[in-house]
Structure formats: structure tokens, C-alpha cells
A and B are shown apart, each in its own frame.
Chain A
């Protein structure tokens, strides 16, 4: 059976169909093309024709037109739409016409850069042109570096290398900066949150250095679909960009299916496990031999997917190693091998975290199965976009987990189809981030006394602060770097924390098999954890926290472990305050302490609880921004008088807010947390805190503070559209979690906040059903 037949069969199969909540077919689309521009260099024209590109898609033509007119551009089209030509063409055209011209390409990771360069290399070879492209990153050998600096026409790098290896040494790159005509930034949507805030500052420094050398390059950016591409690009670049999004590329018929695993325990409302269900669904596709990608929401889930998939392969009598897992934490050459295997068909199925969401070139696959909602509309479309070739049919299946947001989305598919993708949020003026990059910028070029760095008026004061700390020295009318340190070394673009825990396999010889950040390490690599890596189980013998090393040993056991942590909040500062109908809301800075507490042992297959253990690791502390809603203390008595509980109401509200926040922000559920306090030491009364999990905050809580009334509205909508009686995981939380008066108490809270006259009427309706 081929894929098309299989899809038709599934459509009519009752046992599959009864769990399907949505079958959305996007019809095939023909290409919309435009002739090459008149002025296109004939060598480039014939090279393109030779490679099977006789004309341009509409969006490519538009993007190229903008770029050549010197306007910063952001292109928003899906994968497999030929977006790389949108930047390769203007760059090549310019280099052909001017041998001194230079371009800089930025990719988020090294892996991406290697793959995206294929098209560029192919064209250059076809033209036999003397245009040299070089990758400049941490692995570039010293001998090659000098050649790249002086004679590379196109320099390909990543933001980390630009930040540490190029900008602070710009005098060695004079030829590049003096002649820089284009800066290409791919995967723009990836630069959000903390990372994006850092990268925006790296770009500020880049622009500053270009100005020093007298060049003013045009930026060409490519982004996946987000709600605010223009705004996002403008914030990253520090100046407006023109949007190009009319996708003219052809595509085959695409099927998007929403699937809710059947209930197996009606009383408790438990459904079949999303992981196992996803694997069951994958099986007929595996049998057919089409390439399948499965997405899991966490590293642990991905390893479980792999374990179960391999079991399936064994049953199908196929080699188990044709199924691979892919995630961060694997060493680079492992990841390269998997990418290649996908491209050349040796790898039949891959289980991945969102690490593969990026434009890494694995070709297009046939089927995508998402084990659990990716958390945002944008990510879901990106993941689904992995399936779908230009002219053949493809399928993407979202399998819901029992998580409340999954259940909501799966049962309300219209919400998904109708909603706009989320916004990408960054805050380039986050003080901690800004200060670090100000130091780097001062190291690079002395600051003039009236120069501004960033979109704020604080530059002068910050420079003075640094001078007082003997980091800078004022001389004449400039601020010069004075310290003997190298600021870029101390700044990691991905977090405020520089350290990682290294994972050492001691089974045979000591060997480093990966690394992970501190918070993940506490949850995945605590003593006695079972750590999963490429489908293999490892027992963590010891996590040496002092030395940041975890010693693991390969084992074969029948269970896996799942850890939990708790957090504490203390307030530091308040920036803004707004009175509300009920209480007041505010936004400011808090101190956060997280502690990994305990872990459970869970049996593979049946997922029963085999036992638990405690985790003995130190607290992690950091500061971040938060918004909070402070309620009047007399509310507690008032609600008790109505036979309701403020405590339960707050808990329910916290759960609701956590669920609806991702509707507005392009945040992973882990980026924002909401915590209720019946009596906060800071405010002295009942308070709900909603904070950025990233140190220093990158704008999420700030945005939610601004959107407060809308957030409450969405919470209200969620609560009242839920059919449960007293509370369930899809709205306020289960009765065990939030209390048995959670639903009614939360409803009352929201009603008071919204001055809702209809509330009492609805209360009666609920009571009666």
C-alpha cells in the first residue's frame, strides 16, 4: 500500500475515525511564478535554469526586489518554499557585479549553516564564479581563519561566534566590515525570549561597528509564521523591515488530523497514553515504508517514543536502527549522522524534540505525528510543516495528551484553525542583558559621550556606573575600556547562567556523551535518575554538583524516573501599578528560588508508580520580572461567607492563567509560571504571581501585565466552556489539585473582577446540571 492509499484507508477506518476530532485538508496549490528580473546577471540566470529553476515564485521576486532596493526585508513563508533563494540571489548578484562586496550570514546553530549553504555552493560552482564562502565558527581551524578574514566573500557564522569571535576583534575583519552589503538572518522567529534579546544587542553592536567602517548593510531576514513578524524584525534590527509573505510555491495536498486517544477509565477520565498512541498510529506508516517524524514535548518523552518505536520495528521484522532519536544534548556528529540519514532515506523514522523544528535540512518527510500539543500554534504549524513534499500527498497528526491545554485544543479545533499564531517577544533593553552588551560594545569601540546604545535614555548613566567600577575610563569626550577582562567571554547568549553540567559515561571508559543546563540537570541527572540517551538507559550514579559533572552507567531496567521541583518567591522591586476593580495589578522584579524535591519511579509500559526518592541538590536562585494581581484581604472572609474558598479560587485561577497565557505569547509553557499565594509576604494579602522563568525577564510577564483584562476574559471563557462540575485538569485543575470548591470559587473571583452581572445566572445553570 502506498501513502495515498493508506490515507484514504484511514479516512474510512472506523476505529481510527471515532477518535478524530478534525480532518482538515489543505488542497494542493500550483506554483505562482514571475520571470527573472531583467538585470539579473546572465551567469546566474543560466545557473538557475540549469538547476531546474526557470523562474521565480512571487514571494522570491518580491523579496529580491526589496533587498536590491536597499530595504531591510523579512520573508515569512513555510519550509520547502524556496526561501533561501530570497537571500542567495541578491547576494550572488551583488558579488558578481562587485568583487569587493561582502555578505554575512547568520544561522542560529552550526548545523543549520552547513545545510543551508548547499544551494549557495551549488550555484557558485555552476557559475564557476570566484565567490568564496566560508563558515567561521568554533571549529574553524586557526590556519583557515586568516584566509577567511581577508578573502571570504560570504562569511557564514552564528550569533555566538559573532558575539565572541568576530565583533571584539573587528580590526582583523576590516575588509568584511568596510564592504559589507548584506546581512542575512535566517530563522528569525528563533530569536525570541532570552536568546532573542541577546541577539538583538549583538545586532546593535554589529551595526555600530559597520557605521565605524562606513558601511550600512541591508538586512534580509527569514521567519516562520508568527503573529508579529514585522514588529519582531523591527525590534531585532532596531529599525523597520518590509514584510514579504505571499507564498507562491506549489504544494501537494496536505491533511491535518486532530486525534484524541480514547478514554480507558471513564470514572477518572484517564485516556490512553499519548506516547504509546502515537507509536500505534505510526505503525502502518512504518510498514508502508514512508518517512515519519514524531515530535515529543520533552527529552524524556522522545526517548520513550524511541523505545516503543524500536519495539514496533522488531515486530515488523525491520532493523531497529532505522529509527533514531534527535535532540539537544546529543553530540554534534551524532546529530549530523541522523540528518544525513533522513535526507538519504536510510533513516525511516525519527523521534525528536523541537530541536528539529528549525530549518535544518532533512528534506521533506511524508508524515508527521505530534505526541502532544507543541504549546503554540506557530510551533504546531512548524512541526506539521515537516511533512509535505511539493507534489505528493502528506499528513500531519496531532495526538493529544491528557494535559489540559492539549485537551482544550483537541476538543476545540476551531480555536486552533482560527487563531492567529502567537507573538514573538523579546526585550533588548532588559537591564542585565543590555549592560553586558554595553560592556562588549565599549570594548569594541569607545563610546562618545552622547551616544545611545539601545532604545532607552539610560546609556549615559550606565556608562558612568561602569566607570565608577573601573571598567571604563572617561578621557576627552569618550568612554574607553579599561578593565583587563574580555567581556564577551562572560556573556552567554542563551541565558544568564553560563554553566552546564557535563554527562560522563563510565560504563567502559570515561566518555562525555552530552551536556545540559543546570535546571534540567537537577531534574534529569539527580542521583539515581534513569537518564535516557539515544534509546539507551543510563543510571546516574552521582551528580557532582560542585564540579558540574554527572557520572552515568549504562543499565537495562524496566522503569524510568520523573522529577519534580518547587519554587519560592520574594519580591524585590515594583515598576508599575494599576488599580483594578478588584485589588490592583503591578509589575516588577522578584527573586525566585527553585528546588528539585523528589522523583518518582514509573514502570515502562504500564506507567504504574513503583516508588519514589528524594533529591538532595542545592537551590537555584535568580531574579526575574513578574506581574502580580493583588487582591483585597477582606475577600477571604467575604468568600467564606458565600461558602467559597479564596485559596481554592486562587489555585484555580493560577492554573487557568497558565493555560491561557500561551494563547497570546510565543512562549513555551515553561517560559511563564503562575503561582498563587494566600498571603504574600510582599503584598501582605492574597496575590497571584505570573513571572518569566528566565532570569531578568524578557518581556512575557510585562506583556501579560498589559493584557491583564484580556487574560481574565480568556480565563473566564475557558472556565465556563468547560463541562466539568467541580473542576478538572482542563480548566481550574483537578479537585485533588485545586480543592473541591475551585471551580465555583474561581468563577466568583473572575465575576467580581469583571463586574459580571450574568455570573449569578450561570452559577445557577452549573448547579443545576
Chain B
């Protein structure tokens, strides 16, 4: 008769263990953290560890980022000057109630300076006091700043708070999640937009000797299951760098949408910034950015910029200027049927210049035909162009007989 254990082992597959980088140290597993200044709040098993440090070299957020940048980057309005940068380490990537947060990194960023607080959970029984501490830390936050926090960190924390029956309202603060503007602006430039990639490409900062974030869960499991330190110090250091550098990244992104954009940004990224500003309804600002690009050495970028400029001008009801831009575009790109059409629309509906409108549509028809010769898969456009032409002719008072266009 097999024991229960033997019977369980027959059909159960234990989970695979991922390899752990780093040295496994003995006896006092929390030594590395204590050496970094951690102190107990409460005691084992239901207490937690707290580390605090000042961070130098960071000017206050309202100076280097500001509410205007928050609006532009993420349509978010901070409630004041006390911002909190937030990053967590969890036992896994899954959502759901079984994943929990064992390390919370916070950077209090305000006119008083920058102060980092890290809360570490030596074992699950301490979760309630850890989360209560988090609630206190966030109590005065006017803005939460994260990287992918909307999809990841905040929902996980919300779940943990609910499981401990604590009020999760403190998480419902204005939230600047930089992953979204990062993707919008940098998508065509950088292959990956993980935070470490941005640190490297944008800030020129590397992460030497850093423990990859993906190893953190296994390090923590080793602590709980075996009582050993497989890199706890490194996990805490990694988390500290995450929050510190995120503040610097916020500064960088703020410059992108501000008056003094960072150098070295390729045209496509700068175009993306302009689009973002236009999307946020900041047409003047967008126009400023775009005007800088219309003479770019990269022809594709220059043309894209000029097209956008034309749209912006029209949006601002500066129709004659917009029409001139389209004219320039058409001269540079004679096969661009859309550009012709935009120009013709302005002439017809806004500038009352029907003669010009007709000429432009006729040129558009020829452009469409030429285009198809080069690229048979391009859309024909004949029908809608002819329709436009007919309408213009009607308005000019001539019926029937379309002039200048034979059967092609």
C-alpha cells in the first residue's frame, strides 16, 4: 500500500525550476539587505524590511517634467508637486490572486528632494503590514509614475490589497505610465522598448552587474523554500535602479514634448512626437515641432512633416498657408494623389478658387494613371476623382462635357 505521497508523485509533475544566477550564501539570508541599511518594521514572521536612501542629482519634478508634459505625454493631470515613482517585483507574471508582490520600490520626488524607500517582504505572513506601509507611502502622492504600471504593477497591488481586505483607493491617483508614450515615440526607432533599452539608448546608461528582472522570482522562491540568499541584494539594487532611472527617463520624455528636445533623435521619432502633440490637441506646439522637420535631410521625413504641417494649418483655419504647403508637396511628389485631393478640397471649399480646384483634380487624374502604371496594385481612384471634377464643373456653371480628360 503506497503512501499518499507516493501516490501523489505518480501523476503530479512538479514545476520546473529556472536556473538561478549568482552565489548562494548561507546562514543569515537577509544579511545582504541588512548591510544595505534595511531595518525591521515589526518582526518575523509578520513584519517587513524597510530601506531608505536619498537620491542625488535629481531636480524637483515640477521643474524638469512638469504638469504640461504629463498632459502631453499621457493626458494626465498631477494633483500637485509630490510625485511617487513606483516599481514592484513579483513572484511571477501571471495576473490572478496567486502572484504576489515581494518588493516595492518607491521614489518620493518633490521640491524637498528625492528619497527612495524600498519595502521588502521576507515572508508572506508579513504582507498585511507591508501593504499598510505602502498605503501610507502613497497617501500624499499627487502623481504615480511607472513603466507599464497601468497593466502590471497597479493591478497586482490592487489584487493584493483586496486579498488583505485593505482599501485600494490609494492606487486611484493620477498615473503617468511612460510605456505608452515610449511606444508611440520610439516604436519605429528602437527594436525593444524595455526600460533597460531606453536607459541605454536614450540616457547612455548601462546596467553592469545587474541581475536580470526575470531572475527575481526564483531568488525569492529560494529564500522562502530553502532559506538561502541567491541574490537578494542584487534584486534590491535592480529595483532601486529601476525607480531612480525611471525618474530620469521621465525627464527625458518631458524634454521631447517641450521646448528643448533632446539631440540625436531620428526624424521618425520626432515626427511621432509631433503626432502625439497634435493628438493631444496642441496644434501650435505640434506645428513648431513639425516646422523644424520640413527641411530635414531625410526626404521621407521632410515630406511627412510637410503633410502634417498642412493638416495642422488647415485645422487652425489658415487655409491659404495650408494650400501653399500642398502645392509644395505636390511639386516634390507628383504622384501623391492624396496631396492633390487635399489641395483641391481647400481650393474648392475654403478658398473659392474653382479654376484652381479643377486644374488640380485633372492633374490628380493623370497622377493616378501614372501611379498605376508603375504600381498596378494601387487603387484606381478614377471614380471619386471624376465625381469631384463633375461637381466642380457643375458649380462653375457648365453642365456635361468634361474637358481635358479622354477615355483612358
Contact = CB atoms under 8 A, between A and B. Distances in A.
A431 B7 contact: yes
Interface in B1-32: 1-2, 4-5, 7-8, 10-12, 14-15, 17
A168 B123 contact: no
A695 B125 CA distance: 38
Interface in A451-509: 458, 461-462, 465, 467, 469-471, 473, 475-478, 480-487, 496
A176 to B, nearest CB: 13
B43 interface: no
Contacts of A574: 1
A484 B120 CA distance: 19
A476 B11 CA distance: 30
A482 B11 contact: no
Contact of B125 (A431, A476, A481): A476
A35 B159 CA distance: 48
B96 A486 contact: yes
A435 B126 CA distance: 27
Contacts of B96: 168-169, 443, 486
A475 B11 contact: no
Nearest to A464: B5
Nearest to B17: A470
B225 A465 contact: no
A168 B226 CA distance: 27
Given A171-B163, A623-B10, A483 B158 contact: no
Interface residues on A, range: 35 or more
A125 interface: no
Contact of A478 (B2, B95, B125): B125
A462 B9 CA distance: 11
A485 B94 contact: yes
Given A461-B4, A484-B91, A573-B2, A442 B98 contact: yes
A432 interface: yes
A470 to B, nearest CB: 5
Contacts of A482: 91, 221, 224-225
Contacts of B4: 431, 458, 461-462, 465
A470 B225 contact: yes
Nearest to A436: B12
Given A446-B124, A476-B45, A573-B2, A469 B94 contact: no
Nearest to B5: A465
Given A431-B8, A435-B12, A476-B45, A484 B93 contact: yes
A169 B98 contact: no
Interface in B300-326: none
B1 A575 contact: yes
Contact of B15 (A432, A470, A572): A470
Contacts of B17: 470
B297 interface: no
Nearest to A483: B15
Contact of B97 (A445, A485, A696): A445
Interface string A568-596: 00001111000000000000010000000
A501 B95 CA distance: 29
B182 to A, nearest CB: 22
Contacts of B95: 169
B217 interface: yes
A444 interface: yes
B212 interface: no
B24 to A, nearest CB: 15
A252 B331 CA distance: 84
A171 B1 CA distance: 42
A484 B4 CA distance: 25
Interface string A304-329: 00000000000000000000000000
Contacts of A170: 97
B162 interface: yes
B45 A465 contact: no
A476 B122 CA distance: 11
A476 B98 contact: no
Most buried by B among A442, A445, A483, A589: A483
Contacts, number: 112
B163 A445 contact: yes
B221 A171 contact: no
A168 B98 contact: yes
A695 B10 CA distance: 12
A176 B159 CA distance: 15
A468 to B, nearest CB: 9
A386 to B, nearest CB: 39
Contacts of B125: 475-478
A83 B192 CA distance: 57
B37 interface: no
Interface string B87-106: 00001111111111000000
Nearest to B160: A171
B225 A481 contact: no
Given A483-B92, A485-B92, A476 B97 contact: no
A432 B4 CA distance: 11
B1 A469 contact: no
A475 B14 CA distance: 20
Interface in B69-93: 91-93
Contacts of A458: 4
A160 to B, nearest CB: 16
B221 A443 contact: no
Interface string A342-367: 00000000000000000000000000
B221 A470 contact: yes
A473 B102 CA distance: 13
A174 interface: yes
Contact of B124 (A174, A473, A695): A473
Interface string A424-446: 00000001100100000011111
Contacts of A575: 1
A461 B4 CA distance: 8
B336 interface: no
Q: Which of A171, A431, A443, A458 has the largest number of chain B CB atoms within 10 A? A: A171
Contact of B162 (A174, A442, A478, A487): A174
A461 B5 contact: yes
Contacts of B8: 431, 435, 462, 465
Contacts of A461: 4-5
B124 A485 contact: no
Contacts of A171: 97, 158-159, 162-163
B6 to A, nearest CB: 9
Contacts of A487: 98
A181 B97 CA distance: 23
Nearest to A169: B96
A20 to B, nearest CB: 50
B124 A486 contact: no
Contacts of A573: 1-2, 7
B215 to A, nearest CB: 11
Nearest to B214: A484
B1 A473 contact: no
Listed residue (A482, A573, A696) with the most chain B CB atoms within 10 angstroms of its CB = A482
A480 B15 contact: no
Nearest to A443: B98
Interface in B111-133: 123-126
Contacts of B159: 171-172
Interface of B: 1-2, 4-5, 7-8, 10-12, 14-15, 17, 45-46, 91-100, 123-126, 158-159, 162-163, 217, 221, 224-225
21 contacts: A169-B96, A170-B97, A171-B163, A431-B4, A431-B11, A432-B12, A443-B98, A446-B124, A465-B5, A469-B14, A470-B15, A470-B17, A473-B123, A473-B221, A475-B124, A475-B224, A476-B124, A476-B125, A483-B15, A486-B98, A573-B7
Given A171-B163, A431-B7, 20 more contacts: A170-B97, A172-B159, A431-B4, A431-B8, A442-B98, A445-B163, A465-B4, A467-B225, A469-B14, A471-B14, A471-B15, A473-B221, A473-B225, A475-B123, A475-B224, A476-B124, A482-B91, A485-B92, A573-B2, A623-B10
* 3 closest residue pairs by CB, A with B: A476-B125, A443-B98, A484-B92
